[in-house]
Amino acid sequence: MTGMFGEGFDMNALLAQAQAMQSQFQRAQDELASREVSGSAGGDLVRVTMSGTGELLSVDIKPEAWDPDDTATLGDLVVAAVRDAARKVQILTETSLPQLPNLGL
């Protein structure tokens, strides 16, 4: 077969490879959904837990983090803890999802 893909190009092999990659990707996503990561801020005054897919699951705030006269700092700690967990989710995702091969097209 000749054409834009060159001599000897096997479309069936390419489709089979794409299906296998899709299956691997789905398994990796399912595994990520079952994993949990934690993020913290303020020396663990605020701790959050996220799923491996980035869903916020819980927020734990120690009583000493709460100052009714300074709610802005508590908000900053929550944001920092969520960002910490989100960064860990990103790293987990990058290391867990299969890499796409170079098909040389």
Nearest in space to 97 (alpha carbons), one of 24, 33, 43, 42: 24
Amino acid 26: pLDDT: 81
Nearest in space to 60 (alpha carbons), one of 46, 50, 72, 74: 46
Residue 89 contacts residue 55 (beta carbons within 8 Å): no
- Work out the percent of the chain whose per-residue pLDDT is above 70: 84
Whole-model pTM?
A: 0.69
CA torsion through residues 15, 21, 25, 28, sign? positive
pLDDT at 100 over 80: no
